[in-house]
Amino acid sequence: DVKVTQSSRYLVKRTGEKVFLECVQDMDHENMFWYRQDPGLGLRLIYFSYDVKMKEKGDIPEGYSVSREKKERFSLILESASTNQTSMYLCASSLRGQGLQETQYFGPGTRLLVL
């Protein structure tokens, strides 16, 4: 089974702090994704990466950056946390292939509260 893990289930940070969210997958997937989930909005893509050191902006990249130094690890960075970044953050990974081969598998999520 695919396993995607995230470093924390819950985080509480102060406004202005630098925040790191870590995601690790164990299935040698090329693609990795960061989403945020908010009530009534579903999941929105922040950034994704299709290879080591490669990254592309998603739909809502403002205020975020990412790092992918190793294939299995994809980090989301909030350079200066703000209260409007309080949310649930979900990481996902998938193979790079054709169609359903690119089915995404998700981690358990990190609920971030910025005070």
Provide the binding-site residues for other proteins, judged by CB under 8 A: 31, 33, 35, 40-45, 48, 50, 56, 58, 88, 90, 92, 94, 96-100, 102-109
Distances (CA, A) of 11 to 21, 51, 54, 108: 9, 28, 27, 14
**Residue 97 Rama label (left phi>0; alpha psi -120 to 50; beta):** beta
Residue number, 75 or 104, with CB nearest to other proteins: 104
Q: How far is the CB of 92 from other proteins (least distance, A)?
A: 8
State whether residue 16 is helix, strand or coil. Answer: coil
Residue number, 14 or 98, with CB nearest to other proteins: 98
Residue number, 85 or 104, with CB nearest to other proteins: 104
| Paired tokens of 11 | 């985080």
